[in-house]
Structure 1
């Protein structure tokens, strides 16, 4: 069963949470019991509408129903949010806080996030379509960053440098950059905000958050709890907007002289645009972009473990994850056996509305994503690939559902070879030698994550070193954790999130030379 029922996300507490949420759903009392399902956004400590009084409807991708409405902000509204964050950053109310005081606020936020996990999970499932179990798992993961950076806030250390001259003393301090713009994606609407915001706040920055237009409700729930935790007004500001305003809003965040740094998670294509905007002001920028992750199974691998890892790394969030395995490179001597075991495991996958118990695969996020997945699979089919299983939308489930799919006989001229499919599609390629596997794995401009399975220790050390990626899962299909540095190489990004290095995007090193000493 996917995720080993599910080692990724389901704990006893989560199962109790699932039962509680489903009781509310079955009673038809879902929205009425929610205090975090909001229809205004937070700017300078006030819950406001857009200046034009226009709204964006948020829909449930599982059934097309409207979950709620949020303000459709424009550049005028964005500038208000930036001004608020800038003034708060320079105010005594925020700048005079000690690291311990910021840590305490983050801890309060963490406890509120934990105590409201059921409601946040419900909102997330409604607007993103992911199964409730995965929403709860994301909350555990996302909250772990708030907990982690609450602790790291008190460890933003400086340095005392041994001086070459007796009359001088040399110091380095790490100081917050100022206002950070955080632009987050729809696939992990909770964790991508907490991973960025908690690091920025720990460093002493203020933030303007621009959530994805498909999933803004989770963001509003998070900042509502930050408000309840006692953060001063203007520390958290949220800019919600429709797709038609996204380009202008993104440009405004990147080009404003009051924004000191930008952190973006999303596609490489959009990342390039934001990088260009930030270049004009020489801003600090963190980019966590697309991947094309190889999943390599060598003949020495434990195939049962490899299949478990494949299920975790491929089908989580319906394959809509930047670290999801994209190209499955299977050594020819074990390819048939691995594929047979994978197909057996996939038979247990339940596709459906994320609110229903037992569902493991929800819908794709929107029509554009469905068309992308369908087009990539059809391109492979037209060029001679073998569709082993799946390969079609499932209109009987809803407009945005796609079958869990396995495609074999992949060749370099197919989009499945070169592009990140971002859907529940396994693309299988056979290889003969380790060198061939590494050549194929590294034959991409992306380099976020890579996975491989081997019981040969020498091979483990060689392949770990030679894979051109920022993160390597060895005999493991799930590698993300707050304690480790998350990020890629090549066109998969700049900088790292999580770990002690996650603070780096939000601080500058100041050198102080104290002279004239006796």
Structure 2
């Protein structure tokens, strides 16, 4: 008997006005059951060439459109996203395996970033600087880059695309999107709504494109000199390939890569609050967020009590089909993710770890082609090699500390630097954690978990996380080029630094 998600997917695509190019090159699949949803025809290399030509042509018209007028497109897109929030959430659940509230939350991020970008369209500010020469004015201006290539991952199939696209569009760029092969239907629906918005406001044709493609075509996008900026979200391994290739052609890259996120639980922490924060951050999206909490560094005075309570909380988690709305933990994305989960737990045991709970595959009889697992907590004697390695699965490694400086050093001693947190009611501890001598991550939170960033702040991390910033604050600058202008409004021509010539 066919799972209801099949009919829900087709209805959602139709509601969004999306047409899936049917074929046999690629296959849309749902991790809920492991079944194929439909076959898709892949974009060809010849079609990519046409896409890039079209995007370049659209850019030349779009860059001359006043920024507040460009904002009208994003405003309309946001309205359509809100209108079809439930449809898109169905697709996110179907292809990424998220529970309904998390899927709806991701779509809400798209709506929120559209609202932010509309305001931004009237705030692309430059500076005016004093000149040392009389009768001169200095200023900086910001200009669109050109074609922006966006590469996204399966775990957040639509929100990071919107972070990039809403902002890049108001900055005057055109977009070519290479989504994850695992979430192509989400991409087609999202792009269809943007196409409708573009028609509604009279935006240039060819302003945005989506590629139904595998890695091969993605590499062509990365290597093409017509793509001014490549914004790539994914693994550190992927970023290590993309960054140098873009740099070799003197292009720009914006990298949002892996995270090995940790929380410190201090002896003064509100343990009830910390329990909720840790549980969601460690288990949400079945541990498949880049901001998932993977390490818990807890003061030895409260470790026994807190970990016992956390193990009990894990025992209440409902694991199962996320589309029913009755589960808190959905499936891993595919068999490879389950293999990584099992191998990481085996390595943790070999490196002295003690499995406190979880660690097993479940529901295999009901869903033999899907991969549901029990979230695991592992007590580690120290920060071993496997702890320093990001595994995209619900595994939380627990370690203890005595002094805060020791905890911060342990926290920072991993290659990744995305998100971090401390739970404490001691203002000195809180301030130290967010100070220069504290967390070395791009996100440092106090009394909230590592997941769930708001769009108003710049999102991104340091070290092997790539250094990119998306979403709010001044992240818009990544999508523009800066020019310094000097205007001489006098009838003299003094040279800077007192140089005399002729």
> Normalization by structure 2: what TM-score?
0.91
Runs of at least 5 residues in structure 2 that lack an aligned partner in the other structure? 492-502
The verdict on how the C-alpha distance between 1:482 and 1:300 changes in structure 2, with shifts beyond 3 A counting, is: same
- Please state whether the residue corresponding to 1:155 is helix, strand or coil: coil
The verdict on how the C-alpha distance between 1:26 and 1:295 changes in structure 2, with shifts beyond 3 A counting, is: closer
Residue 146 (str. 1) matches residue 117 (str. 2): no
Q: Which residue of 2 aligns with 1:412?
A: 383
Q: Which residue of 2 aligns with 1:439?
A: 409
CA contact (8 A) 2:153 2:233 kept: yes
Structure 1, 333-342 or 30-39: larger mean CA deviation: 30-39
Q: How big is the shift at 1:140? A: 1.0
Residue 347 (str. 1) matches residue 315 (str. 2): yes
Q: How big is the shift at 1:84? A: 1.2
CA contact (8 A) 2:146 2:228 kept: yes
Q: How big is the shift at 1:411? A: 3.3
Q: How big is the shift at 1:494? A: 2.0
Q: How big is the shift at 1:389? A: 0.9
The verdict on how the C-alpha distance between 1:332 and 1:358 changes in structure 2, with shifts beyond 3 A counting, is: same
- Please state whether the residue corresponding to 2:73 is helix, strand or coil: helix
Residue 500 (str. 1) matches residue 473 (str. 2): yes
The Cα RMSD (Å) is: 2.0
Q: Which residue of 2 aligns with 1:5?
A: none
Runs of at least 5 residues in structure 1 that lack an aligned partner in the other structure? 1-23, 42-48
From 37, 52, 63, the equivalent of 1:95 is 63
Q: How big is the shift at 1:249? A: 2.1
CA distance in 2, matches of 1:376, 1:37: 42
Structure 1, 25-34 or 484-493: larger mean CA deviation: 25-34
CA distance in 2, matches of 1:153, 1:499: 13
Residue 281 (str. 1) matches residue 260 (str. 2): no
> Normalization by structure 1: what TM-score?
0.88
CA contact (8 A) 2:51 2:209 kept: yes
Q: How big is the shift at 1:26? A: 9.2
1:177-188 equivalent positions in 2, closer than 5 A: 177-188=145-156
What do the CA deviations read for 1:120-171 (whole angstroms, capped 9, x no partner)? Answer: 1111111111111211111112221111112111111223222221243323
The verdict on how the C-alpha distance between 1:436 and 1:159 changes in structure 2, with shifts beyond 3 A counting, is: closer
The verdict on how the C-alpha distance between 1:436 and 1:95 changes in structure 2, with shifts beyond 3 A counting, is: closer
Q: How big is the shift at 1:442? A: 0.9
Residue 328 (str. 1) matches residue 296 (str. 2): yes
Q: How big is the shift at 1:410? A: 4.4
Residue 290 (str. 1) matches residue 290 (str. 2): no
CA contact (8 A) 1:58 1:215 kept: yes
CA contact (8 A) 1:483 1:500 kept: yes
Structure 1, 402-411 or 465-474: larger mean CA deviation: 402-411
The verdict on how the C-alpha distance between 1:233 and 1:134 changes in structure 2, with shifts beyond 3 A counting, is: same
The verdict on how the C-alpha distance between 1:153 and 1:68 changes in structure 2, with shifts beyond 3 A counting, is: farther
CA distance in 2, matches of 1:32, 1:443: 48
Residue 371 (str. 1) matches residue 371 (str. 2): no
Structure 1 runs (4+) greater than 4 angstroms displaced: 24-30
The verdict on how the C-alpha distance between 1:188 and 1:32 changes in structure 2, with shifts beyond 3 A counting, is: closer
CA contact (8 A) 1:67 1:127 kept: no
Q: How big is the shift at 1:512? A: 2.1
CA distance in 2, matches of 1:508, 1:30: 40
- Please state whether the residue corresponding to 2:65 is helix, strand or coil: coil
CA contact (8 A) 1:319 1:424 kept: yes
Q: How big is the shift at 1:250? A: 2.8
CA contact (8 A) 1:152 1:500 kept: no
CA distance in 1, matches of 2:12, 2:348: 47
Q: Which residue of 1 aligns with 2:496?
A: none
Equivalent pairs, count: 478
